[in-house]
Structure 1
Amino acid sequence: MATPTARSGLLRANLTVAAGTAISRITGVIRIIVFGVMVGQTALADAYDAANNAPNVVYELLLGGILTATLVPLFTRQMQDGDDDALSAISSVAVSALAALTAISIAVAPLIFRLFSLNPSSEIDIELFRQTGTLLTRLFLIQIFFYGVTSISSSILNARKQFFAAAWTPVLANLVTIATLLMINNVSKVDPPTLGEVTTNNPLRWLLGLGSTSGIIVMTIAMLIALRRNAVRIRWNFDLKHPAVRQLLRLSGWAVGYVAANQIALVVIKNLAKPGSGNVDAYSKAYTFLSLPHGLLAVSIATTFVPELARAAADLNTKEFARRFVSGVRLTALATIPASLGMYVLAKPLVAMLLQHGNFSAAATVNTARALAGLALGLAGFSIYLFVLRGFYAHNDTRTPFFINLFENALNIIFAILFVDKYDVLGLGLAFSIAYLISAVVALFILQRKTSEINAPKILLNLLPIALSAAVMAVVVKILSQQIAGDKATAGLQATSQVVVCVVVGALVYLVMIFALRVRELRELTGKHD
């Protein structure tokens, strides 16, 4: 049994991670707001989004899955064994691979950007779009090296139960990027800046390209400072035959496949959005908005439950595992189902409140709101899906999540192809939502086969009162929103007042409903566990 001191330490660690995640998500939203104000929803915005995604896709496809999935348990074991040599070998080989991957990626930047522009809009100059995107991609690809170093540093610190730096340094990256984006008007000769200007205006190109990259570099430097303060001893030891390096490669196979499926699906979806049309920017901004409630609500809940699930699985205590797992699913649903329906109903005024300023037009607001409406319906499915996968990881099973994730991404792509011609960005959002809702249910039934104490049909039936409460809330909010705004589009203070009033009233209606229906998960949130 954990001592009070140990529980207190775990609570502080969870709060640190939750707070860092929250501030990181919030500053991430501020970053896209600033970009929208300065650039608008244009072909340049799509080129910037694709170029900015390029280092993430390359890194995750080739190295990210290996490093993310296996480093923390490996480093934890090595720390317990006092094996500094293994730590040095893994770090040396990984840094070398990162340097080589970064150099090669920069050299083939035109090919990488072309992956994101296979299906460009016919309404733009395609060659200019690709030329501009390639110029920005070369500057963004520098981030690959620093992403990797940050991941290694974060894993070392997490293995030593030092969570502050890893949780909070992304905030620094966002703040640096925001500061550079605010300088666009100082270097751009036209407002908003265009694709052509990026190719001819060197200061603008360097500002756009190195702004985000500078943020990643600052984040990496902060992580290295944290390593130094924790007296981590690493020396150069490039040894491909070292047992720890071989173990790293052996353990990471399924994780690499999981990540690869996600990145391939992302490239397909971004191409279906017709790069250059503004739809890529709309989808990306909407997804960032979706990630905010997921990060604030679902991730915080998971952070609390995952250690308990892992302990129960390690102790072979299936009843305790099932009890805590079911509680986690229900709490996730309790928080995310109303958020899902609320974002769907308020998508347009919410986007107008946050984005419709400066160069971000009313048409861009409508486009982004359509993407958000489609994505919002899948928030609960997305969050529950990821929580269910944690049930497999608690049993050290990475193989099953790989196949489930392959299924989810296949569904996402199939539905996106079916919907995009008729519904454009709304269809892409709906494809995401349907894929995750189906996959969450499928994953739950598969986990039931692994842990017989879990009753998947009963879990789903017990979510009905929550869904009913959220549905009543959504109807009330929809009626209230129409009463406030009528048929007119709102923006600025009017949109803000519309959102605030609807959120407050909606929250009250939801609370009344879950009390009236005696939703017992409410006791979990108030600390009254079973």
Structure 2
Amino acid sequence: MSLVKKFATVGGATLGSRVFGFVRETFMAALLGTGPVADAFNTAFRLPNTFRRLFAEGAFNSAFVPLFAKEIEARGMDGARRFAEEVFGVLFTMLLLLTIAMELAMPFIVRELIAPGFADDPAKFASTVTFATIMFPYLACMSLGAMMAGMLNSLHRYFAAAIAPVFLNFILIGVLAFAWYSGHDAIAVGYGLSWGVMAAGLVQFAIVWFAVRNAGMRIGFRRPRLTANVKRLLVLALPAAITGGITQINLLINTNIASGKAGAVSSLVYADRIYQLPLGVVGIAVATVLLPELARALRAGNLNEASNLQNRSVEFTLFLTLPAAAALLVMSEPIVRLLFERGRFSPESTVIVGQILAIYGLGLPAFVLIKAFIPGFFAREDTRTPMIFAAISVAVNVSLALTLFPSLGASGIAIAEIAAGWANALLLFSTLVWRGHWGRDIPLLTRIPRLVAAAAIMALALHHAIGWLAFPLSSAASLPMRAATVCGLVLAAMAIYFALAFGLGGASLGMIRRNLRRRAAAPQSAAGEGPDAS
């Protein structure tokens, strides 16, 4: 299968999850706006979600899946089942103890670690503690579910693990729709969402649990013991936890800082949801597909193929993300107004979220390029260098966020995030070049400035069109008029960009045709990757 087709396959799965997550955020914006309950829920949800991404999806899966697959090969299904039961017993016990400890310490954690700025607002602080207490068991469900999903992927059963995460959005959308229909107040919506998250965790775990049983793997509970296999799992998981932890700790720090201003946490979340659409579709697809392809080429000693894979991936990401970045920069406010401005989401909130989204647009190419550069290290079994660069980017982010937040609010945190992203991208790229791991590619070097020029001209045309269409894009216009105008602008911008990209030589039919026809020798390894539905 061609590289572009693989990108499209994984990106399509991610897009479906992102769209449902976006629908969820649209309902939340209407019911909660950027008010205190929205801040409380988003902050409380960040805690189990951070642990989930850190342990369940990152460190645990990267260590458990290879060992489980190895047990299947060496000792058959019975040996793999015994190993899974050993891990399940230890994991369940650890999660139970962690959940009890976090539930008891939740007021301290919220006050001192996550949202110290909420301490001055007793109602918001109490809501955050309550919501986090209700939702935290979601972590245990998702961690155990990640183990089941890893087993399913090793057994070549992909559907259940891929579909399960979407149920979080289904359930929360149902909660929000019922609250909208019933006219519930904000605090009732917050409670409903918190219990919905808890229910979604149970549903997702049940789906993968029954799928594992149907696959012929019945897991029983064993007394937790640190066997040799379990110790090996912990040794392998630790480096991955450190690497993944850097990014997740960075998110918690930004939430900590943003809690000092009312509405800042929610404003960042709403802007991030829109920005995650192009980032998730392009960036995650590239990262998922490129790593196994690059590793295969390097194992075969085919350095020319490895270089071509990296350059074509960068070419593909820039071809799609430069226009998206330019569009977010110049038309962020009309997009936010169309998608969120209703109910409790005020015109003032639109301005703030629009400013943050425009700033995120400037960082979009950096974050997508990071996902294209990192496989160049991982495929060579170098996880230490990206970890160091991630730590440097966190230092840049925290120092800038602390400096800019007092004067710029949530926009200052967004500026810090994109500055850190560009620093990380430049460090990764320069190191690949310095080590001789990035081949010089004349077609790529000539196409990049032309793609930048095409995106810049498109942005200029959009800017003038938005000024001319001020009324149809304003709050005074009807929703159908705003939707038609925004869709028309997007279609016109796409036509302008693609015409310029091909006309200036930034892209060519030959380039697209080569990528579509390019066949990889290895089977597609990304089929088992499930999208992040959070």
TM-score of the pair, normalised by structure 1: 0.88
The one of 152, 161, 166 aligned to 2:161: 166
Question: 2:90 matched to which residue of 1?
Answer: 93
The one of 300, 304, 310 aligned to 2:285: 300
Q: Residues 435 and 153 (structure 1 numbering): CA distance in 2 closer, same or farther, change over 3 Å?
A: same
Question: 1:106 matched to which residue of 2?
Answer: 103
1:148 corresponds to 2:139: no
Gaps of 5+ in 1: 1-6
Letter in 1 for 2:138: Q
Question: 1:343 matched to which residue of 2?
Answer: 328
Report the Cα offset of residue 63 of structure 1. 6.0
Question: 2:172 matched to which residue of 1?
Answer: 177
User: Alignment partner of 2:506: what SS?
Assistant: coil
1:244 corresponds to 2:222: no
Q: Is the 8 A contact 1:17 1:164 kept in 2?
A: no
Gaps of 5+ in 2: 519-534
Question: 1:207 matched to which residue of 2?
Answer: 192
Q: Is the 8 A contact 2:376 2:432 kept in 1?
A: yes
Q: Residues 373 and 15 (structure 1 numbering): CA distance in 2 closer, same or farther, change over 3 Å?
A: closer
Q: Is the 8 A contact 2:7 2:286 kept in 1?
A: no
Which shows bigger deviation, 155-164 or 48-57? 155-164
Letter in 1 for 2:104: A
Counterparts of residues 484-503 of structure 1 (less than 5 Å) = 484-485=469-470, 489-490=474-475, 492-503=479-490
Aligned residues: 510
Q: Residues 522 and 271 (structure 1 numbering): CA distance in 2 closer, same or farther, change over 3 Å?
A: farther
1:475 corresponds to 2:473: no
Question: 1:34 matched to which residue of 2?
Answer: 27
The one of 11, 22, 29 aligned to 2:15: 22
Letter in 1 for 2:114: F
Question: 1:4 matched to which residue of 2?
Answer: none
Question: 1:66 matched to which residue of 2?
Answer: 59
Identity of aligned residues (%): 25
Question: Deviations 1:347-398 (Å, cap 9, x if unpaired)?
Answer: 1010111111222111111111111111121111101112211222222222
Question: 2:72 matched to which residue of 1?
Answer: 79
Q: Is the 8 A contact 2:135 2:194 kept in 1?
A: yes
TM-score of the pair, normalised by structure 2: 0.88
Question: 2:522 matched to which residue of 1?
Answer: none
Report the Cα offset of residue 177 of structure 1. 0.8
CA RMSD of aligned residues (A): 2.8
Report the Cα offset of residue 139 of structure 1. 0.3
Take 2:440 and 2:222, find their aligned partners in 1: how far apart are those partners?
Answer: 50
Letter in 2 for 1:135: T
Question: 2:521 matched to which residue of 1?
Answer: none
Which shows bigger deviation, 329-338 or 235-244? 235-244
Question: Deviations 1:30-63 (Å, cap 9, x if unpaired)?
Answer: 0011111111210111011101111123444566
Take 1:382 and 1:453, find their aligned partners in 2: how far apart are those partners?
Answer: 19
The one of 116, 126, 138 aligned to 2:114: 116
Report the Cα offset of residue 146 of structure 1. 0.9
Q: Is the 8 A contact 2:447 2:505 kept in 1?
A: no
User: Alignment partner of 1:346: what SS?
Assistant: helix
Take 1:211 and 1:270, find their aligned partners in 2: how far apart are those partners?
Answer: 22
The one of 494, 504, 507 aligned to 2:491: 504
Q: Residues 99 and 525 (structure 1 numbering): CA distance in 2 closer, same or farther, change over 3 Å?
A: farther
Question: 1:3 matched to which residue of 2?
Answer: none
Take 1:504 and 1:63, find their aligned partners in 2: how far apart are those partners?
Answer: 40
Question: 1:441 matched to which residue of 2?
Answer: 426
1:281 corresponds to 2:279: no
Q: Which has the higher contact order (CA 8 A, sep 6+)?
A: 2
Question: 1:424 matched to which residue of 2?
Answer: 409
Q: Is the 8 A contact 2:246 2:391 kept in 1?
A: yes
Report the Cα offset of residue 330 of structure 1. 1.4
Q: Is the 8 A contact 2:377 2:383 kept in 1?
A: yes
Report the Cα offset of residue 227 of structure 1. 1.6
Letter in 1 for 2:146: S
The one of 14, 32, 41 aligned to 1:48: 41
Q: Residues 204 and 441 (structure 1 numbering): CA distance in 2 closer, same or farther, change over 3 Å?
A: closer
Q: Residues 80 and 449 (structure 1 numbering): CA distance in 2 closer, same or farther, change over 3 Å?
A: farther
Q: Residues 471 and 224 (structure 1 numbering): CA distance in 2 closer, same or farther, change over 3 Å?
A: same
Letter in 2 for 1:176: I
Q: Is the 8 A contact 2:141 2:201 kept in 1?
A: yes
Letter in 2 for 1:216: G
Which shows bigger deviation, 383-392 or 513-522? 513-522
Q: Is the 8 A contact 2:291 2:378 kept in 1?
A: no
Which shows bigger deviation, 139-148 or 109-118? 109-118
Question: Deviations 1:370-428 (Å, cap 9, x if unpaired)?
Answer: 11111121111101112211222222222222111111222222222232233222222
Q: Residues 528 and 174 (structure 1 numbering): CA distance in 2 closer, same or farther, change over 3 Å?
A: closer
Q: Is the 8 A contact 2:394 2:420 kept in 1?
A: yes
Q: Is the 8 A contact 1:42 1:277 kept in 2?
A: yes
1:385 corresponds to 2:370: yes
User: Alignment partner of 2:392: what SS?
Assistant: helix
Report the Cα offset of residue 251 of structure 1. 1.7
Take 2:502 and 2:54, find their aligned partners in 1: how far apart are those partners?
Answer: 46
Take 1:454 and 1:475, find their aligned partners in 2: how far apart are those partners?
Answer: 34
Which shows bigger deviation, 86-95 or 59-68? 59-68
The one of 390, 407, 411 aligned to 2:392: 407
Q: Residues 415 and 458 (structure 1 numbering): CA distance in 2 closer, same or farther, change over 3 Å?
A: farther
Q: Residues 26 and 205 (structure 1 numbering): CA distance in 2 closer, same or farther, change over 3 Å?
A: closer
Report the Cα offset of residue 172 of structure 1. 1.6
